Structure 1
Amino acid sequence: MARKESAAVPVKDSKVMVIGGASLVGSATVEELLSRGATQVVIYDNLSFDGEANIAHLKGDPRVKVVQGDILKLHQLLAATEGLDGIVHLAAFMTLNFDRDPWGGIDVNIRGLQNVLEACRANRVKKLVFASSNAVYGYGHGVKGDLVEDTPFHAAGAPPAAILYGASKIMGEQLCRDAHRKHGQDYVVLRYSTVYGERQHYRAANALYIVETHDAIKRGERPKVIGDGSETKHFVYVGDLARANCMALEAPATDVAVNTSGPAPVTTLELVTLVAELTGRPDLKAELVQPDPTKVRLTSGGAFTIVHKAAKDAIGWEPQVDMREGLRRLLAWRDASLTNAG
């Protein structure tokens, strides 16, 4: 992986846009940028999926500017990206959305990114951070062992929506490389593992293990585990990803793609058992059930670890929040949200 050591964009006193800034990762990234002294943070979002609620606490900050826009409309992006130092691009269809609307996902994830890159070129934005995914390694029984940046894509046995999502991220990474090769556009690709944390939603297939388990336990029901409970998931806390986004801007590295994963993987049985324990109901033992063929569920087919050593080398990042602490924060936020709603 080639790197040019001259692409640092210090966050302090800079102007940065977060595309998809009203999302789970986006809202946390805006908070992190502000804490690091950004002069202005532009939230560019179409404000769907409860986006307004995610950023309500940020709107009183004079450094925050909210632009309701669509990445498929280049003229909107061109106007919104004038005078920026950097962009963190998070907006995308995820697997469950791809399952419902594959053509929409292709448009947003591929054409949308191409529009972002064109806006960067036209307005001389110094650096782009692109949120990719460990989905670039694929799914199914070929995904096992250590997943590193040159691990090939595996598609056998995975549902179409999962393959379409992973392929869209592969294409997105290559569009970034192409822009760097042709126009000198500096960028860093971060391959997120499954994100969880405060302001968690129901649209990420793997994160459903957390929120659906919590919901079931709050109803006094036994949590369900699909399969035998041995399938591996590798989660990363949302605050750690917010740091990674900022560190990718500030690092001198460019033209590089790195994994950003949590400290350690967890099996689905370990995960639901931990949620039950943290919810105060360890007596509600997990019930093993067979997969529902009508629902998209991402399974690894074996134990794997998403190695994040290259992120330490390239941008100085490594995760800080382990699964127990991250889950404790998430569940406390969900409990507080339910209390406030009531």
Structure 2
Amino acid sequence: MTTAKQGKALDLDGSRILIAGAASLVGSHTADRLLEAGVKEVVLLDNFAFGTPEAIAHLKDNPRVRIVRGDLMRLHELIAATEGMDGVLHLAAYMTLGFSQTPWEAVDVNVRGAQNMLEACRVNKVKKVVFASSNAVYGYGTGIVGALAEGGPFHSTGAPPAAILYGASKIMGEQLCRQYHQKYGQDYLVLRYSTVYGERQHYRAANALYIMETYDRVRRGERPVLPGDGKDTKHFVNVADVARANVAAFRSAATDVAMNISGPEPVTTGELVQLVLDYCGSTLEPEIKPDPPGTVRLTSGGAFHIPHDLAGEVIGWKPQVSMKEGIRRLLAWREAQEARAR
């Protein structure tokens, strides 16, 4: 699934787009971008089990925005919500922490929920689906090196079960998209996000959570904690870049292909902690302290990178926000939120 076919580009000017899982980091930023692109209506669908009204509070009075409470497990609600839609961005899913805490529900939502959304799109002849996948489709574990390019294998050695379950659920979601394309001609694109971070950050993503935990410790005057030697590779992509990729995917004529949406470069845990320390103007020395048993922390045993060349070829996208700039934006937003709360 690395060669794009030609479908039809979606003219966003005057179109109607539904975002499933909209009350979220990616959903809210993508809604902003779609409105800038001139869409007629953005429907924000969420059951608010994980999404928060605060994430989309700035949109609720926009006359081109409609907020709909709906659940992926109720097909009739999805059919009603997608009626008249030109495009659907499917973000709604359990993440790795959810698979650790409530695996049965997570499997249902990520697999049956994705199938329900595709069925609703088939019924209502939605022109294009953009499915939010993850670099978790390559798996996790020790000894991963080199490029994790589209079409690569799945790794699982030494990884937590929750991480593997999450990755497997995204593989199934991708293949459901592919099946609906083959059987019904449903145009779709799969975007495999690296760990997304940025303003309106939530506390549900295992790796993005580490940024916030580190910041919280440093602000309290406590030494930041390194779960290992600081050389574990992490892959982040800023939410502003992800929102641009989502919009570019709708505008692209390509279909039936998956592509990586990754940041400009990988970062090690040690480098990440140092960026937070630099932002805070702190000279605290990191403390090496292994995570307690059962902690869901996604690490790698070697240096690898996630190329995004295919996204450049297929949808004309590449990341623009460096890790240093992204951390600055995120933590400045966090401080502004705290100041408003006071």
TM-score tier (shorter): over 0.9
Give the equivalent residue in structure 2 for 1:179.
Answer: 180
Give the equivalent residue in structure 1 for 2:169.
Answer: 168
Aligned-partner Cα distance in 1 for 2:51–2:173? 26
Aligned-partner Cα distance in 2 for 1:332–1:59? 24
Give the equivalent residue in structure 1 for 2:62.
Answer: 61
Give the equivalent residue in structure 2 for 1:303.
Answer: 303
Give the equivalent residue in structure 2 for 1:84.
Answer: 85
Contact 2:149 2:307 in 1 (8 A): yes
Aligned-partner Cα distance in 2 for 1:264–1:157? 24
The number of residue pairs the alignment matches comes to: 341
Aligned-partner Cα distance in 2 for 1:266–1:58? 33
Partner amino acid for 1:320? Answer: Q
- Superposition map of 1:114-129 within 5 A: 114-129=115-130
How far the C-alpha of 1:50 sits from its partner, in A, is 5.1
How far the C-alpha of 1:178 sits from its partner, in A, is 0.3
Contact 1:193 1:259 in 2 (8 A): yes
Deviations along 1:268-302, one digit per CA (max 9) or x if unpaired, are 00001111101221x01211111221211111111
How far the C-alpha of 1:7 sits from its partner, in A, is 2.1
Determine whether 1:111 maps to 2:112: yes
Structure 1 segments of 4+ aligned residues over 6 angstroms from their partners: none
Partner amino acid for 2:289? Answer: V
Determine whether 1:337 maps to 2:337: yes
Give the equivalent residue in structure 1 for 2:277.
Answer: 276
Deviations along 1:36-66, one digit per CA (max 9) or x if unpaired, are 1110000000123351010111111100000
Contact 1:98 1:161 in 2 (8 A): yes
Deviations along 1:9-59, one digit per CA (max 9) or x if unpaired, are 122211000001111100001001001111000000012335101011111
Contact 1:209 1:268 in 2 (8 A): no
> 262-271 or 4-13, which moves further after superposition?
4-13
Aligned-partner Cα distance in 2 for 1:278–1:166? 33
Structure 2 counterpart SS, 1:271: helix
Aligned-partner Cα distance in 1 for 2:5–2:278? 47
How far the C-alpha of 1:143 sits from its partner, in A, is 2.3
Contact 1:209 1:272 in 2 (8 A): no
When residues 206 and 12 of structure 1 are mapped into structure 2, their CA distance, relative to the original with a 3 A threshold, is: same
How far the C-alpha of 1:3 sits from its partner, in A, is 2.6
Partner amino acid for 2:337? Answer: S
Contact 2:7 2:187 in 1 (8 A): no
Partner amino acid for 2:292? Answer: D
Partner amino acid for 2:36? Answer: S
Give the equivalent residue in structure 2 for 1:315.
Answer: 315
Give the equivalent residue in structure 2 for 1:98.
Answer: 99
Partner amino acid for 1:233? Answer: K
Give the equivalent residue in structure 2 for 1:223.
Answer: 224
Aligned-partner Cα distance in 2 for 1:340–1:174? 44
Give the equivalent residue in structure 2 for 1:200.
Answer: 201
Give the equivalent residue in structure 2 for 1:49.
Answer: 50
How far the C-alpha of 1:216 sits from its partner, in A, is 0.5
Contact 1:7 1:252 in 2 (8 A): yes
Partner amino acid for 2:316? Answer: G
Aligned-partner Cα distance in 2 for 1:269–1:181? 45
Aligned-partner Cα distance in 2 for 1:303–1:266? 10
Aligned-partner Cα distance in 1 for 2:292–2:30? 35
Contact 1:217 1:276 in 2 (8 A): yes
Aligned-partner Cα distance in 2 for 1:131–1:241? 10
Contact 1:137 1:143 in 2 (8 A): no
Structure 2 counterpart SS, 1:130: strand
RMSD: 0.9
When residues 73 and 50 of structure 1 are mapped into structure 2, their CA distance, relative to the original with a 3 A threshold, is: closer
Determine whether 1:134 maps to 2:143: no
> 287-296 or 116-125, which moves further after superposition?
287-296
Identity of aligned residues (%): 61
Contact 1:225 1:287 in 2 (8 A): yes
Aligned-partner Cα distance in 1 for 2:159–2:317? 31
Contact 1:279 1:331 in 2 (8 A): no
Aligned-partner Cα distance in 2 for 1:81–1:173? 20
Structure 2 counterpart SS, 1:42: strand
Contact 2:21 2:51 in 1 (8 A): no
- Superposition map of 1:244-263 within 5 A: 244-263=245-264
Aligned-partner Cα distance in 2 for 1:85–1:14? 6
How far the C-alpha of 1:145 sits from its partner, in A, is 1.3
How far the C-alpha of 1:201 sits from its partner, in A, is 1.2
Aligned-partner Cα distance in 2 for 1:243–1:279? 29
Aligned-partner Cα distance in 1 for 2:91–2:8? 20
How far the C-alpha of 1:120 sits from its partner, in A, is 0.6
Aligned-partner Cα distance in 2 for 1:48–1:12? 32
Determine whether 1:17 maps to 2:21: no
Contact 1:133 1:166 in 2 (8 A): yes
Aligned-partner Cα distance in 2 for 1:292–1:89? 34
Aligned-partner Cα distance in 2 for 1:270–1:3? 36
Deviations along 1:169-214, one digit per CA (max 9) or x if unpaired, are 0011000000000000000000000000001111100112200001
- Superposition map of 1:282-301 within 5 A: 283-301=283-301
